[in-house]
Amino acid sequence: MSSDAPAATDPLEGIAPEPGVAKPDPILTIDGVKRSFGGITAVNVDHLEIQRGIITGLIGPNGAGKTTLFNLMTGFDTPDTGTWRFNGAPLSGVPAHLVARRGMVRTFQLTKALSRMTVMENMQLGATGQLGERFLPSLIPGLWRRQEREITARADELLARFKLDHMRDEYAGTLSGGQRKLLEMARALMVEPELVMLDEPMAGVNPALTQSLLGHIKGLRDDESRTVVFVEHDMDVVFDISDWVVCMAEGAIIAEGPPSSIGQNAAVIEAYLGATHGQAPARRRKQAGGTDQ
């Protein structure tokens, strides 16, 4: 179950597969982040580092707090306590739109295609620093038309790469579920993020499209040297493309390590299957791509 990627030099070679282990070049460092809803602790992460330039898979049973952690990191929710740093700069309390502008962009478990806008408009929206987005300059097309052409050209390239170019001028609401996932990923790339956070990118995508989506995620790492964190339930997918896997249960990080080690990890097996031992998740063929919060 080894991936075809981290080729010659694996940056995480020799790193101990223990929860909260330090990594050579972390892009995101989380410290003591806690979030409770009433009496339930949804997220309670003591320490976690996300290595730059690799694909990190975030797994865990339903209700483990994966999406909540995503929401907290990207400013869509506020933790009770805790701090986190992105590229060395503290990110606690920074609103969602500024998190995105700093280079950490997330997608959503339930895709948010902007239905009554065309695929191209969805893409154009992703570009940052547009002069035409300011009130008064927007009234003078001469000021932003050139920038708009550049943005459109970049969007066309991405659409071609994600095989959505034939839908360019259709309303996004007419896309299929899988196409919406593709559009959301392509749109996130328009922001030019350093770190892409994908919340269940494969949920509800048909198997034929899954392969191409996987290819795109690997491409983010290999061709564009971006960092990827993704939540996924399908273990085959996780072990196929991750360089490192982090497992959460009941809000806490219970294990992390290279994919080869995580399937044998006793804590992971227990979290998925309960205290009585059964098969490791790696050998269960498909976990239904259900939803969790």
Question: Residues interacting with other proteins, by CB under 8 A?
Answer: 74, 76, 95-98, 100-101, 105-108, 112-117, 121, 124-126, 128, 130-135, 138-139, 141, 144, 148, 171, 173-174, 187-188, 190-191
Query: In terms of CB distance, is 135 or 290 closer to other proteins?
Result: 135
**Nearest distance in Å: CB 201, other proteins:** 14
Query: In terms of CB distance, is 29 or 124 closer to other proteins?
Result: 124
Query: In terms of CB distance, is 143 or 280 closer to other proteins?
Result: 143
CA 174 to each of CA 61, 89, 208: distance values in angstroms, whole numbers, following the listed order: 32, 40, 20
Residue with tokens 């990594």: 23
Is residue 148 a contact partner of residue 100, using CB atoms and an 8 Å limit? no
> Who contacts 256 (Cβ-Cβ below 8 Å, separation ≥6)?
17, 18, 19, 20, 21, 48, 244, 245, 246, 247, 262
**Nearest distance in Å: CB 126, other proteins:** 5
H or E, element range at 82 = strand 81-86
Euclidean distance between CA atoms 56 and 229, whole angstroms: 5
The token pair at 128 is 């940052």
Euclidean distance between CA atoms 267 and 185, whole angstroms: 32
Query: In terms of CB distance, is 130 or 260 closer to other proteins?
Result: 130
Question: H helices then E strands: how many in the chain?
Answer: 9, 10
